[in-house]
Every structure is written in structure tokens, then in C-alpha cells.
Amino acid sequence: MSITEADLDHCARAIRHGSRSFYAASMLMPPRVRNPALALYAFCRLADDAVDLQDDKTGAVLALRDRLDLVYAGRPRNAPADRAFAAMVDDAEMPRALPEALLEGFAWDAIGRRCASLSDLRAYAARVASAVGAMMCVLMGVREAAALARACDLGVAMQLTNVARDVGEDAREGRLYLPTDWLTEAGMDPAAFLADPRPDPAIRAMTARLLREADQLYARSEAGIAALPLSCRPAIFAARYIYAGIGGRVARNGHDSVGPRARTGGAEKLGWLMLATLRAGGTLVMPRSPLIFARPLPETAFLVDAARRDAAPHTGRAEALVALLGQLERRDRGRSALKTADRWAS
């Protein structure tokens, strides 16, 4: 199965408008990887929007589960992103556990799950970001455990950067991704912060702490780039620099991410693309970093196990995900029953 030109064009347009950072980095990918990567990111981006932008997040997650079922049954929904994603899954033999990890992350959002600790936040980042990084490795034909672990480091770093950038935007939408034990240590009440988000010194310090954690993982992730095909290295370096650059912008704003959203410009992205190309060329002569062999983060180890070349066949639906989807289904049925009762009462 191959992605049609029309479906690929649709995916490219969705990414160009919905994820400019990835679209910029993707320009450095060879077509054999770029095309399925656009299908992957378009499906994930549109799925994220379907959950994030709807009031009925429960229904959106359950609908996404059904869409994944159809994809893996070889009968995708008749929509460009679904058809392209199904073709990518078929061609790459994508382990089902990887997109289902993403689904679990969306389900966590739907139930309003908060992160009590940094480890909880890493676990969330593993699902909504590192799962995509692991899928990118599969598309590149890289399924060695060490390289997968570093790709997952990069995904967590990117998500920590996103959280640091969007503290205020998330709070105004009633969302909180900062570890709640950090707020407790600072003597802050999460509900009070959500009701009136302000960039006080404690929140700025937490934002800075997130970015320090991200920077450590960005540095560690670089060891894995040399394990990628030469033609793919510039794009991954570009993604690393573009996202780290967002964190740099937040830092230059005094770690105030409650006020105006940190943004990077086209000239900055062009500079990072050029730097990425130079760094990728340098990996030909640099000695292999021992960091490539660092253990994966405990929170991402399950993704490495699912994606590695010698992984056991996985049919999907891990126990935790089954339980979580069951919880969402019960919530959905309860809401439907209330709506029916309201209609009868009126």
C-alpha cells in the first residue's frame, strides 16, 4: 500500500499550518522518510486537535480509538489523513503499541489527569511525544534499543519545552502540566493558580527547572543522531535545535510563559536549519559518544521495548490502556444517559 499524491498533499498542508517547527525540519528529510513522516505527523496533529479543541474530549478519544482499530484492520476511515496513516502503518509494519501510547496520552488529557511529579510528567511526555519519536525511528529503519532510547529522550525534551512555553495558555484553558509537588513545595495551591495565573517568581523558577531538564535530554539525545541514516541526520538535528530554540526564547523572556507566548521567527529557523546541516556533517568524523548506551528513561523504556527489532509481536491494547478506555466509555455512557433524561424532562 502506498500513499497517494492527493493524500500526501493534504497531510503536507495540515502540517504546514499546524506544526511549523516539524514542517521546517522535514524539509531536510529524504523523500523516502519525509513522505511517510508527513502522514504520521498529520494524523497525530489532527488527532491532537480533535481531542484538544473539543469540549467532548472523552468522545474524541473514543473516536480516535475506533479510527486506529480501522487502520490496523486495513479499513481506514475514508479521509486523507487516515488513508495516508494506514498506508504508512502497512509499509513500515508499525508496531501498534506506539500509536496506542499516543492514544493513552490523549486519554490522560480527557480525564484531566495531572502530573504529581516530574516522573509523571515524563511519563505523559513519553506518550504524547516520545511515541512519535519512536515511530520516526521505525520509518528510518532504525530499531536498535540504544538509538530508540535517545529518540525517546528527544521526545521528552521537546514536550518539556512545550509545557514550559505554554504554562499560561494551558492555565487559561484549565490545564496544568507543571508537577503539582513543585507547586506544593512553593506553597502554591493549583486551583488558585489556575483561577489567576501569574508569572510570579515561583512559577518562573519552575519554568526554568523544566528547561534545564529539557536541555540535559537534548544533549543526551544527540548521541543517537549518529546512529541514524546519514540522510536523516540534518532533519533530526534541526528538530532538536528548533525546539531548544523555543526554550531559549522563554529564557530570554525571563522565564515568563504566562504572558505573551514565546515564538521564533523564520530567520532563526533558517539559522538552525543551517546549523543542523553542519552538525550532521560533523557526525561523520566525530567519535561515537558513550551516551548512546545510556539506559532509557524509566518512563520511556516500554516504547523502546515495543519498537526494537527483536520485540515480540504486539497486538495492542495494553492492560492499562484497556482500563483507561473502559473508564472513558463508562463516562461517555453516563453523559449520554443524562442528556436523554434531560430531553425527557423538558
297: helix, coil or strand?
Answer: coil
Q: Is 112 left (phi over 0), alpha (psi -120 to 50) or beta?
A: left
Cα(31)–Cα(73) distance, integer angstroms? 27
Handedness of CA 197, 200, 202, 203 (dihedral sign): positive
From the DSSP assignment, how many helices (H) and strands (E) are in the chain?
A: 17, 0
pLDDT of residue 135: 96
Cα(58)–Cα(65) distance, integer angstroms? 11
Contacts 24+ apart (CB under 8 A), 195-204: 197/167, 197/168, 197/171, 197/172, 197/258, 198/258, 199/168, 199/254, 199/255, 199/256, 199/257, 199/258, 199/259, 203/167, 203/178, 203/258, 204/254, 204/255, 204/256
CA atoms within 13 A on the CB side of 295: 5
Q: Name the architecture of domain 93-345.
A: Orthogonal Bundle (1.10)
> pLDDT tens, 61-94?
999 999 999 999 999 999 999 999 999 999 999 9
Q: How many residues does the chain have?
A: 346
pLDDT of residue 286: 58
Phi, then psi, of 260 in degrees rounded to 5 = -60, 140
pLDDT of residue 317: 65
Q: Is 174 left (phi over 0), alpha (psi -120 to 50) or beta?
A: left
Q: What is the DSSP letter of 13?
A: H
pLDDT of residue 345: 55
The span from the first CA to the last CA of the chain, in angstroms, equals 51
pLDDT of residue 189: 96
pLDDT of residue 25: 80
Nearest in space to 312 (alpha carbons), one of 300, 324, 302: 302
Handedness of CA 226, 284, 268, 142 (dihedral sign): negative
Contacts of 147 (CB under 8 A, 6+ apart): 137, 224, 227, 228, 292
pLDDT of residue 338: 54
Contacts of 83 (CB under 8 A, 6+ apart): 3, 4, 7, 76, 77
93: helix, coil or strand?
Answer: coil
**pLDDT < 50 stretches in the chain:** none
Q: Per-domain residue ranges for the chain?
A: 93-345
> pLDDT tens, 89-128?
999 999 999 999 999 999 999 999 999 999 999 999 999 9
Kindly report the pTM of this predicted structure: 0.90
